[in-house]
Amino acid sequence: MSLTVRTNLGNIVVNDNVIAKMIIKGAEKSGEKLFLSNSKGKLLGAVSRINAGDLAGNYVIKEIDAAYYLDFYAVIRFGASISAVSKIVLDSIEEEMHEMFPEKAGHITLHIVGVKSKQIALRNIEVKRDYEASR
């Protein structure tokens, strides 16, 4: 779903590819400790090789009232700190969303659906980040 920004010059539509690239960029900052996946834990590939089309359909973004809700799925590397990795990824996404939508609050949910060592052990962990609009 695309998001719309209303300005005094008109409406600006932010399509799904922009949101997907923002999620990929945040995952890249984790240093190969986070792998993007679908909701069932199937890896989409190495973060450095994923494009926006691969991520399409594996995240949900909604706009409700004056806030947006972003949910996406990932598998974390065995031994990596969930809190440290999620902080890096969610900080990156939050910063970019603040730049694009300063007048909207945000709710970002990272669903960690597995832990990867030699195989993927399924998990069901949610890391949430809520914040207020900057204006």
Whether 8 is covered by a domain: the verdict is no
pLDDT score for 63: 87
pLDDT in tens, 12-22: 888 889 999 99
Q: Is 69 domain-assigned?
A: yes
Q: Which amino acid is located at 32 in the chain?
A: E
Contacts of residue 82, defined as CB under 8 A and 6 or more positions apart, other chains included, come to 76, 112, 125, 127
Rounded to whole angstroms, the Cα distance separating 34 from 97 reads 20
Residue 6 located in a structural domain: no
Residue range of the domain that includes 48: 16-131
How many domains does the chain divide into?
1
Residue 83 lies in a domain: yes
Quote the CA–CA distance of 97 and 22 in Å, as a whole number: 9
Residue 103 has pLDDT above 80, yes or no: yes
Q: DSSP secondary-structure letter at 47? A: G
2 in any annotated domain: no
Asked, for residue 68, whether it belongs to a domain, the answer is yes
